[in-house]
Amino acid sequence: MRKILVVDDELVSRKKMAKILASYGECKEVETGTLAIKLFEQALLKGEPYDLISLDVGLPDRSGTEILIEIREMEGEKPMLVKSPVKVLMVTAHSDRDTVLTSIQAGCDQYVVKPFTPDLVYKKLKEMGVHL
């Protein structure tokens, strides 16, 4: 079963994304980037890395982009623990070009703009190579 981490400070968005992604695997939900980094690192060190992360761009403690950069750095520092890089779906309320480009440059695999629908999330996951 896939391990999925849903990171969003908005309760409704977090629950909605977790519900959508539940058919793909076991979802863990957190509301801050700091917690996301902690859980990601623990899972990596245990040899049970996350397969997919849904990561909100606008988090209260740090930007989702910063979190993504740190995740990619951890994967690079511990290549023996990484079977394959985690798939990252960025979630943003801003569809402006700069936000999207910054997310892609940081290493996201795909992005969705809030408010999102299950069909849109499924489409983006399929484009990322994540299938049921």
* Across 51-62, average pLDDT: 95
How many CA atoms, within 13 angstroms, populate the side-chain half-sphere of residue 50?
A: 27
| CATH code for the domain in which residue 103 is found | 3.40.50.2300
Query: Could you tell me how many residues make up the chain?
Result: 132
Res 19 pLDDT > 80:
yes
Range of the domain at 84: 2-127
Q: Is 46 exposed, middle or buried (0-12, 13-18, 19+ CB in 10 A)?
A: exposed
Tell me how far CA of residue 93 lies from CA of 21, 55, 56, 72, in angstroms.
Answer: 19, 12, 9, 23
Residue 132 is assigned to a structural domain of this protein: no
Please provide the average confidence, as pLDDT, over all residues in the chain: 93
What pLDDT score was predicted for residue 82? 79
Residue 25 is assigned to a structural domain of this protein: yes
Q: In which order are the strands placed within the sheet that holds 2-7?
A: 25-30, 2-7, 52-56, 87-92, 110-113
Residue 32 is assigned to a structural domain of this protein: yes
What CA–CA distance (Å, rounded) separates 88 from 124?
11
Tell me how far CA of residue 1 lies from CA of 17, 45, 70, in angstroms.
Answer: 18, 18, 25
More confident residue, 83 or 47: 47
More confident residue, 96 or 56: 56
What band does 61 get if pLDDT is binned at 50, 70 and 90? very high
Residue 6 is assigned to a structural domain of this protein: yes
Degrees (nearest 5) of the Cα angle 33, 107, 97? 90
Number of domains in the chain: 1
Residue 29 is assigned to a structural domain of this protein: yes
Do the Cβ atoms of 4 and 27 come closer than 8 Å?
yes
Residue 85 is assigned to a structural domain of this protein: yes
Res 59 pLDDT > 90:
yes
